[in-house]
């Protein structure tokens, strides 16, 4: 009988903690959303808004085979507004990641936003596991410059590339 009483009290505490946590998170999230919306409205081309692809879309294959791990082509010359479609071919998982320390501060926010919903971390796409999976990156709002990227799982195997925005 004592065990049932302890189990009942413990269950009530666990359920109460779970139920109360959700409401507190919702309440905390609501006030945070208002300042974020105000900040977005204040900035033209806000860092949180992906810029559309308005030019050419280039294709880059992500490959891992007996010749090594690589992007084909490893260097892309593009213009602001172009897009790059990364296609997982073999040897995954693969992704596309930029080193935040090497991206100029005035480009970082827009480039990160251009990853859209397919993001694993800041300036990093989700992992592509299966042949045929793709990741589309917009260069909309990205100023001229050279931007080096890599595959996080295969960085030690020198899977690197660069985008030259003209």
Report the distance separating Cα 32 and Cα 23, nearest Å.
Answer: 15
Q: What percent of the chain has pLDDT above 70? A: 72
Q: What are the φ and ψ backbone dihedral angles of 80, each rounded to 5 degrees? A: -55, 130
Are 137 and 53 within 8 A, CB to CB?
no
User: Max CA-CA distance within the chain?
Assistant: 77
For the stretch 44-89, pLDDT in tens is 344 579 999 999 999 999 999 999 999 999 999 999 999 999 999 9
For 57-165, give the CATH class: mainly beta
Encoding tokens for residue 130? 């299966």
Q: Which tens digit of pLDDT belongs to each residue from 19-55?
A: 444 444 444 443 443 333 333 333 334 457 999 999 9
Buried b (16+ CB within 10 A) or exposed e, 67-100: eebbbeeeebebebbbbbebbbbebbbbbbbbee
């Amino acid at each position: 009988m004592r065990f049932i009483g302890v189990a009942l009290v413990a269950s009530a505490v666990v359920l109460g903690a779970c139920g109360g946590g959700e409401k507190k998170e919702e309440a905390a999230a609501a006030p945070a959303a208002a300042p974020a919306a105000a900040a977005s409205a204040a900035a033209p081309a806000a860092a949180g808004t992906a810029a559309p692809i308005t030019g050419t879309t280039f294709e880059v294959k992500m490959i891992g085979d007996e010749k090594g791990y690589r992007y084909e082509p490893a260097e892309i010359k593009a213009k602001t507004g172009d897009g790059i479609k990364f296609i997982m071919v073999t040897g995954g998982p693969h992704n596309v990641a930029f080193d935040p320390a090497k991206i100029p501060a005035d480009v970082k926010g827009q480039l990160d936003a251009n990853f859209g919903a397919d993001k694993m971390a800041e300036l990093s796409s989700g992992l592509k596991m299966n042949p045929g999976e793709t990741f589309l990156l917009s260069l909309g709002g990205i100023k001229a410059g050279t931007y080096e990227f890599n595959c996080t799982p295969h960085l030690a195997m020198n899977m690197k590339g660069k985008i030259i925005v003209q």
